[in-house]
Amino acid sequence: MAVKFKKSWTEKLNDDKDLPRVIEITETMSQRWGKGTCVIPAPREVNEIMRLVPQGRLITINQIREILAKKHKTNIA
C-alpha cells in the first residue's frame, strides 16, 4: 500500500491546473453572473495581487476582479 502525503500549502498554490482560463458565460450562467466572459484565475495570480497590497491596507474582492479582468482583457459586470 502506497503512502499518500498531503500537499503543502505552497504545493497547492503552485499547482495551476490549466488555469488561468477565460470562459464565455452561458445562458444558464447569465442569470447569476451577467453576460460576457469570466476569468478563472490561477491561485498564483491572486496571490501576486494580494502581495502587492501594502501591509495595513485593504483590497476588496471587486478590486481583485477588476485587476484580473484588465489583465485578461475581459468585461466585468
Residue 34: predicted pLDDT: 83
Q: Is 68 a residue whose pLDDT tops 80?
A: yes
Contact 75, 36 (CB under 8 A): yes
Question: Does residue 3 belong to any structural domain of this protein?
Answer: no
**Of all residues in the chain, what percent carry a pLDDT higher than 70?**
94
* 1 pLDDT above the threshold of 70: no
Q: Which residue has the cell 502581495?
A: 51
Residue 1 resides in a domain:
no
pLDDT(77) > 60: no
In a domain, 51, yes or no: yes
Q: Domain tally for the chain?
A: 1
Average pLDDT on 11-30 reads 88
Distance of CA 23 to the CA centre of its chain: 12
Nearest of 66, 61, 69 to residue 20 by alpha carbon: 69
Residue environment code for 33-66, b if the CB has 16+ CB neighbours within 10 A, otherwise e = eeeeebbebbeebeeeeeeeeeeeeeeeeeebbe
Q: What is the pTM of this model?
A: 0.73
